[in-house]
Amino acid sequence: MRLLGKIFSKKEEILPALDMSIFKVDMHSHLIPGIDDGSKTMSQTIGLLSKLEEMGYKKVITTPHIMRDYYQNTPDIILNGLAELKNELATLNLNIQVEAAAEYYFDYAFMQQLQQKEKLLTFGDQYILIEFPFHAKPSKIDDLLFELLMQGYKPVIAHFERYLYFDDCVSLAQEWRDKGVSIQLNFNSIFGHYGVEVKRQAERLIDAEAIDFAATDCHNIDHLLILERNSTNSYLHKLSHLKLKNNQLI
């Protein structure tokens, strides 16, 4: 009975709140006001950047959607929005750096852009953020990745853990990483924000150390508050010990 009492009275280790400055750079967010489903106003954007700086981030690479049927953004629209944001930041007492790329949705229009060698927005060392549909696996993914790699881009698969149609996500992630493709995970997936199955996928990927980038995918203040509330999460701590590429972007 004493042994059973010791077993059942054993408390789970309480971890400290993680210092998010360890990640240095957030490379997936939607902070240019009014051009997609992210921040709606400049004041909202400034508030989000202030919060990210408070959390310890040194740089944000914001990535507005480019989706032909929903958000018909172009490099010019995004870079003009970035210029306006930087002008606003210049008048404020914020030290956080802000750059912009894009989150490209994989569809026929994007393949056309790629084949026609149109200007695409990248970050860091020619990284390009790619998003897939959530509900149905697209065809010709291998063709897409091959074409991107052949043109010198380094594909980064946005929130890979959210594509539940990839049955063996760990093996696929490792296979793609061997080819030069990077895997990005959303912090809030770890906490069940996108559902239990996504949470399990995220944990499997972290356990396998099959993650290259971790990001907020911030659209609004709730995304940052969820992250802040879960800063003691054991898988967030485990993620922080992986050899992520975020700090190479500083």
pLDDT tier at 17, thresholds 50, 70, 90: very high
Which runs of consecutive H residues, i.e. helices, occur in 37-191? 42-55, 75-90, 108-115, 141-150, 169-179
Q: Residue 51 above 60 pLDDT?
A: yes
Q: What is the pLDDT of residue 93?
A: 86
Residue 105: strand pairing partners: 131
Pick the CATH number of 16-249 from 3.10.20.30, 3.80.10.10, 3.20.20.140, 3.30.450.60: 3.20.20.140
Taking 3-state DSSP, the helix, strand and coil percentages for the chain, each rounded to the nearest 5, stand at 45, 15, 40
pLDDT for 117 beyond 60: yes
Domains of the chain: which residue ranges?
A: 16-249
Q: From CA 233, how far away is CA 229, in angstroms rounded? A: 9
Q: What is the pLDDT of residue 11?
A: 52
pLDDT tens digits, one per residue of 136-172: 999 999 999 999 999 999 999 999 999 999 989 999 9
Confidence of residue 10 (pLDDT cuts 50, 70, 90): very low
Residue 98, phi-psi category: left (phi > 0), alpha (psi -120 to 50), beta (remainder): beta
Predicted TM-score (pTM) of the model is 0.94
Mean pLDDT over 175-203 rounds to: 98
Residues β-bridged to residue 29: 218
The 10 Å Cβ neighbour count of residue 99 is 17
Does 8 score more than 70 pLDDT? no
Give the number of other Cβ atoms within 10 Å of residue 232's Cβ.
Answer: 12
| CB burial readout 3-41, b (16+ within 10 A) else e | eeeeeeeeeeeeeeebebeebbbbbbbbbbbebbebbee
pLDDT band of residue 115 (cuts 50, 70, 90) is very high
Q: What's the burial of 44, exposed, middle or buried (CB within 10 Å: 0-12/13-18/19+)?
A: middle
pLDDT at 15 over 70: yes
pLDDT at 3: 55
Whether the predicted pLDDT of 53 surpasses 70: yes
Segment 178-202 shows an average pLDDT of: 98
Q: Give yes or no for a contact between 174 and 207, defined as CB atoms under 8 angstroms apart.
A: no
- pLDDT attached to residue 12: 53
> Rounded mean pLDDT of 218-236?
98
Average pLDDT over residues 30-35: 98
- Mean pLDDT score, 176-197: 98
Give CA–CA dist 225/168, Å, rounded: 31
The neighbour count for residue 217, using CB atoms within 10 Å, is: 25
Do residues 211 and 157 touch, judged by C-beta distance below 8 A?
no
164 vs 201: CA distance, rounded Å: 8
pLDDT surpasses 50 at 9: no
Average pLDDT, the chain: 95
Q: Judge contact between 38 and 5, C-beta under 8 A.
A: no
133 pLDDT above the threshold of 60: yes
